Each structure stands twice: as C-alpha cells, then as structure tokens.
C-alpha cells in the first residue's frame, strides 16, 4: 500500500502570517494536532503543531533556568526562545526543518520516518508542492480496513487447521509444542511453552484466524532451568 492511497487530501493548511490564535482554533475545530504551513504559491515552508504552543508567556510556561544555565546560554538562543514564547504569528513558532514523504512511498517508509523523527504526521509533497498529509490516524484507518472480519460460519476443523498452520510458520512456536482444539469456534490452546511471551503470541495467532469466537488458554509454562511446569 502506498501513501497516496491513505493520505488526507487536500490538507488543511495555514500560512506564515496566520495568527497563532487562528492556527490553534483551526486545530481545535478540526480535531487535529498539526498543520502544514504553505506560502502564497502553495510551497511547503514549515509545520506547526500543538507542541509549538505549550511554551508560552500567556500560560507562564516559558522554560525556567537556573541563573548559571541562563548565563551559559547564548544571547542568540535566548532571543530565538523569546520569539517562540512571545511571537504572534505562525512563522514565529513553526518548524522549518520538515520531514516529507512522496505520494508513491510505501507505508513502511512512513512508519520508519515517524519513528526516526518522533513525529505524528508527514506532509506529502510532489514536485515541490504540498498535495496532502499522512498521519498516524490515517495509518489506523488503513489498518481497520485491512483487518480480517470475524465470521461465524467457518467449520471448526478449518479454523483449527488455520491456527495450526499459522503456529507452524512461526519460529517461536517450537515445532508443535502448542496444540490446538476448536469446538464451536472456541480455540483451546494446550501444550508447553518455555517463555511467557510465547503465550500471548499464540493467543494472538489464534485471534487472527477468522471464525475464532473465544480462546481458552491451558498452556503450561516450563521453567527452562529446573524443568518444572507452572500453570
């Protein structure tokens, strides 16, 4: 799946000269936490988010430093901080170092960029122009659409075989130490595990099989050091 298939387009935008009050109201009215900033030619010049508004003189939330740290901080850094806490327009607080993504990028690239740069949204740019935005909520919407629907007409034997096949494909399942029995859509897991994390993984594997209504966990944990089973 590519970015253009899930992105929000057109994106809600603001301009550098937009007031901070108006930008904040736009976020609140549209239930979003960040806005791309574009100039008169629709070129992306920055991005502004809720985080840019939390250190403000009006809230008395400016950064407080000890007298020594204040003395060691350069006048330029102090001046820039003053602008961000007292400025009245978006250009005073926006982030200009923007991470963007192309509409043809894969979703894996989107997630990697979000994690690497610790951001919740990425502007989508083509030929230097903003054409949309992709956010975590867009990824969640795509996930909901791709998750398999739970149905109730699958036969128990088919469900059982599907779970067994899924477990057999996983390295952590230890080649058949986990057994499965399905009756009326209820999957009972028995056998042994040597790491408690395998228990949750086995349950997730069963949950993802269409037709499973419930799971009964009767797996026994075997302590790898003393060889004793613990229920």
Domain tally for the chain? Answer: 2
Residue 165, domain extent: 156-230
Residues 6+ apart with CB under 8 A from 69: none
- On whether the CB atoms of residues 100 and 126 are closer than 8 A, the answer is no
Select from 161, 163, 149 the least CA-distant residue to 202. Answer: 163
pLDDT in tens, 51-105: 899 999 888 998 888 888 888 888 888 888 889 899 999 999 999 999 999 999 9
Same-domain pairing of 97 and 209: no
Integer Cα distance of 8 and 133 in angstroms: 5
- Calculate mean pLDDT across residues 133-155: 82
CA quadruple 206, 208, 212, 214: dihedral positive or negative? positive
Q: How many percent of the chain have pLDDT more than 70?
A: 93
Beta bridge partners of 218: none
Same-domain pairing of 43 and 138: yes
Same-domain pairing of 138 and 53: yes
Integer Cα distance of 102 and 124 in angstroms: 5
Residue 150, in any domain of the structure = no
Q: What is the pLDDT of residue 150?
A: 59
- Calculate mean pLDDT across residues 14-27: 96
**Which of 91, 113, 145 marks a domain boundary?**
145
Can you state the angle between helices 107-117 and 136-146, rounded to 10 degrees?
A: 140
- Calculate mean pLDDT across residues 4-25: 95
- Calculate mean pLDDT across residues 100-120: 95
- Calculate mean pLDDT across residues 146-160: 77
**Which of 145, 180, 203 marks a domain boundary?**
145
Integer Cα distance of 121 and 28 in angstroms: 16
Same-domain pairing of 77 and 161: no
Task: Find the CATH number of the domain harbouring 75.
Answer: 3.10.580.10
Residue 151, in any domain of the structure = no
Q: Looking at 22-36, 37-51, 108-122, 143-157, which range is the least confident one? A: 143-157
Task: Find the CATH number of the domain harbouring 163.
Answer: 3.30.1340.30
Same-domain pairing of 49 and 12: yes
b (16+ CB within 10 A) / e for 6-37 = bbbeebebbebebebeebbebbeeeebebbbb
Same-domain pairing of 108 and 15: yes
Residue 146 has pLDDT above 90, yes or no: no
Residue 229 has pLDDT above 80, yes or no: no
């Amino acid at each position: 799946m590519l970015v253009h298939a899930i992105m929000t387009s057109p994106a809600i935008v603001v301009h550098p000269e937009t007031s901070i009050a108006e930008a904040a109201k736009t976020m609140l009215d549209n239930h979003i936490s960040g806005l791309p900033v574009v100039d008169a030619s629709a070129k992306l010049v920055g991005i502004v988010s809720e985080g840019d508004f939390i250190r403000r003189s009006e809230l008395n939330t400016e950064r407080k430093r000890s007298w020594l740290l204040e003395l060691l901080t350069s006048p330029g850094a102090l001046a820039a901080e003053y602008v961000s806490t007292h400025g009245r327009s978006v250009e005073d607080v926006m982030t200009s170092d923007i991470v963007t993504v192309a509409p043809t990028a894969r979703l894996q690239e989107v997630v990697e960029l979000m994690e690497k740069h610790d951001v919740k949204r990425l502007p989508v740019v083509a030929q230097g122009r903003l054409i949309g935005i992709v956010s975590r909520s867009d990824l969640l919407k795509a996930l909901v659409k791709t998750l398999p629907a739970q149905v109730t007409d699958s036969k128990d034997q088919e469900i059982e075989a599907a779970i067994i096949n899924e477990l057999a494909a996983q390295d952590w399942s230890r080649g058949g130490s986990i057994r499965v029995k399905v009756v009326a859509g209820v999957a009972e897991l028995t056998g042994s595990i040597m790491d408690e994390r395998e228990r949750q993984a086995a349950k997730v594997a069963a949950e993802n099989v269409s037709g499973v209504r419930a799971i009964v966990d009767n797996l026994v944990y075997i302590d790898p050091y003393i060889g004793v089973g613990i229920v």
